[in-house]
Amino acid sequence: MARARRTEDDDVSLFPFLSVIAAVIGVLTLMIAAVTLGQMNQDDVKEAVKNAIAMEDIQQQTAASETELQALKLQLDQKQAELLNSANARETELVKTRSELDSLLKQLAKEQQRVAEQKETTIVIPEVPQNQRETIDDMQTQLKDIQQRLALLQKDLNQRKNPADEATVSILPGGSGITFEPNFVECTAGAIVLHHQQPPLRIRLNEVAANKAFVALLNKVANAKQQSIIFLVRSDGLQSYRTVRGLCQANNVRNGKLPVVGNGRLDFSHFTKK
């Protein structure tokens, strides 16, 4: 049996219901949003916005600081490399300087040792006591003796027909003294004659100890290894020799003697020949 066809009045439309539901949900959403916005504090919102802006600025400053820090690190690494190179150069220079200083100290020690070995000796002649000093009467007596001797020599000179043939006494080198450089001192009666000076210097015996030239000669010989004093002793000059020899021995001055026979002129030509 065929089914009966429904009429148009029996159809139901759901469109109005769904529209109502959607509208209600929209209204509720707007109400919730309005209530939420109403409950929020406007100051908190402004503070949050301000903090966000400050945070962004801080992040930008941090980025700039990191960039500057990297640049400083590069500069610091370069400075450290330069300081390291400079330190190495200074260390090398210090080692070189220390080596030079050690060498100079060794040279100084050798020089000090040499100076200590060759320390100059100062000759000190003791002062003659008052009771042993020469008086005016002694000087006058010696002057008379010298004048008498001079008169005899003048007389002998006048008797010679040829003064050029005057007798001479040659001083010849010999013995162990040939290794030394001699300084000749002639010993006569009451005086000595220093022949190393030009012209020869005559010194009265009582003035020898205080004579600067004789003291200088003692200093010269005492401080030189190759120097020596050679006393040329005349027949009448034994007392003079003993006096000056005593001064040499008291001061450790190297000396020797050669006897001179006669009163002739002394000839040193054998010592001046090469």
- pLDDT, tens digit, 9 for 90 and up, residues 115-165: 776 666 666 666 656 655 666 776 777 777 777 777 777 776 776 644 444
Q: Is residue 163 part of a domain?
A: no
Q: Is the dihedral of CA 188, 191, 193, 199 positive or negative?
A: negative
| Structure confidence at residue 192 as a pLDDT band (50, 70, 90) | very high
In this structure, the answer to whether residues 179 and 239 fall within a common structural domain is: yes
In this structure, the answer to whether residues 259 and 142 fall within a common structural domain is: yes
d(CA 97, CA 94): 5
pLDDT averaged over the chain? 77
Q: Is residue 189 part of a domain?
A: yes
Q: Which residue has the higher pLDDT, 58 or 161?
A: 58
| Structure confidence at residue 176 as a pLDDT band (50, 70, 90) | very low
Q: Is residue 208 part of a domain?
A: yes
In this structure, the answer to whether residues 28 and 82 fall within a common structural domain is: yes
Q: Is residue 5 part of a domain?
A: no
Indicate the length of the chain as a whole number.
Answer: 274
pLDDT at 194 over 90: yes
Q: Is residue 46 part of a domain?
A: yes
Q: Of the ranges 18-22, 68-72, 243-247, which is most confident? A: 243-247
pLDDT at 6 over 60: no
Q: Is residue 13 part of a domain?
A: no
d(CA 48, CA 257): 124
> What range does the domain containing 103 cover?
20-119
In this structure, the answer to whether residues 114 and 196 fall within a common structural domain is: no
In this structure, the answer to whether residues 91 and 150 fall within a common structural domain is: no
Place of tokens 């209204």: 27
In this structure, the answer to whether residues 84 and 28 fall within a common structural domain is: yes
Cα 147 → chain centroid: 62
Domains in the chain, number? 2
18 token code pair:
């769904």
pLDDT at 233 over 60: yes
In this structure, the answer to whether residues 98 and 184 fall within a common structural domain is: no
> According to the model, what pLDDT value does residue 72 have?
84
Task: Assess contact for 237 and 244: CB atoms under 8 A.
Answer: no
Task: Assess contact for 260 and 266: CB atoms under 8 A.
Answer: yes
In this structure, the answer to whether residues 144 and 102 fall within a common structural domain is: no
- Name beta bridge partners: 232: 186, 258
> According to the model, what pLDDT value does residue 10 have?
56
pLDDT at 244 over 50: yes
Q: Is residue 240 part of a domain?
A: yes
CA distances 47 to 50, 54, 198, Å, are 5, 10, 118
In this structure, the answer to whether residues 81 and 145 fall within a common structural domain is: no
Q: Which residue has the higher pLDDT, 244 or 156?
A: 244
In this structure, the answer to whether residues 64 and 141 fall within a common structural domain is: no
| Structure confidence at residue 274 as a pLDDT band (50, 70, 90) | very low
In this structure, the answer to whether residues 108 and 223 fall within a common structural domain is: no
Q: Is residue 130 part of a domain?
A: no
In this structure, the answer to whether residues 63 and 175 fall within a common structural domain is: no
175 token code pair:
């013995």
**193 by DSSP, 3-state: which?**
strand
Least confident of 65-69, 109-113, 119-123, 198-202: 119-123
